[in-house]
Amino acid sequence: MNLSLAPEIQNFIESKVRMGQYASPEDVVADAIEGLMVDEDSHVDTETLAAIERAKGEFDRGEGRPFEEVAAELRRKYLGK
C-alpha cells in the first residue's frame, strides 16, 4: 500500500524515527492505526490510553516490574491478601 501524506504529517513521522521512538516510519503509522483501532473497539477514554502509552514507554526503557511483584501488590490492595 502506498500513501500520500501531508508534509506536516511526514515531518512528524520522520521526527519520531529520528528521536528513536520508532525504528521506522511504518512502525509509527502502525502504532497510530492500532491506537485508533483500540479506541474504536473499546471506547477507552483518552486518560486510559495515555496511561497505556506511558506504560509502554516504561517497558521499552526497561522499567518494567516482574508480574509476580505486581500481582502481589494488587492482591494486597484489592483483596487484602
User: 12-37: per-residue pLDDT in tens?
Assistant: 999 999 999 999 999 999 999 988 88
Q: What pLDDT is recorded for position 40? A: 65
Residue 19 is placed in which grid cell? 528521536
| Cell representation of residue 23 | 525504528
Instruction: Map out the domains of the chain as residue ranges.
Output: 7-79
Confidence (pLDDT) at 42: 63
- Please give the Cα distance from 50 to 56 (Å, whole number): 10
